[in-house]
Amino acid sequence: MLTKSEKTKEQIKQVFVELMKEKGFEHIKVTDIARKAHINRGTFYLHYIDKFDLLNQLEMEIINQIKTILDSGMNELFAPHNHTEDNQMNDPAYLVTEKVLEYLYTEADFITVIISDKGDPHFLNQAKELFRDIVNMELLKQKGTDTYLAGIPQDYAEEIFLGGIINIIVHWLRKGTPESPKAIAELITLTRHMTPVDILEL
């Protein structure tokens, strides 16, 4: 059961999301949040310094939860695995990806508005940096180096690896998450073993 403080913060969050959808973050005032949440400004300031602090705290909750999920599964994620359609659901990469997507699904309302032009243009870069840091740390642990395939510049290799996954997730969120987290996890896991030529069936 949520405490009174937790209920208030959840109400503030819901109202904040609604206001961002209506008018965009830049045009929101603390007065707007307090009025719509049926609280006084003093109650808001008990929890947050200002609207920027509110945004930052909510974003960091998302980032930290994703980091926790990824940290708990990175050893398995990079473990050797014989990929076939039959054993895909036992693939560690699939299991970790599904956990991340299940969490994002529960926060889809907030994340979708944050990554829109009414939210925070820097959030996706924060998420990408998180993925990059975790992957590079795991590469260093597994290989003794954080470099990717020889012959491909590091920055391009990172974009190829991370960009594809993040773009699929962002596309899914912006569509309104019509597919289940399980379906998107299967898609990401399947396509990570494919080249663009494979996908085009050329």
CA distance 167 to 133: 18
For 137-161, what is each residue's pLDDT tens digit? Answer: 766 666 666 666 667 787 787 788 7
DSSP 88: G
For 38-58, what is each residue's pLDDT tens digit? Answer: 999 999 999 999 999 999 999
Residue 202 — very low, low, confident or very high, per pLDDT cuts 50/70/90? low
Looking at domain 1-48, which of 3.30.2290.10, 1.20.1070.10, 1.10.357.20, 1.10.10.60 is its CATH number? 1.10.10.60
For 12-34, what is each residue's pLDDT tens digit? Answer: 999 999 999 999 999 999 999 99
For 110-127, what is each residue's pLDDT tens digit? Answer: 999 999 999 999 999 998
Task: Evaluate if residue 197 carries a pLDDT over 80.
Answer: no
Let me know how long the chain is.
202
Residue range 52-200 in CATH 1.10.357: yes
Q: Where in the chain is the domain with CATH 1.10.10.60?
A: 1-48
Q: Where in the chain is the domain with CATH 1.10.357?
A: 52-200
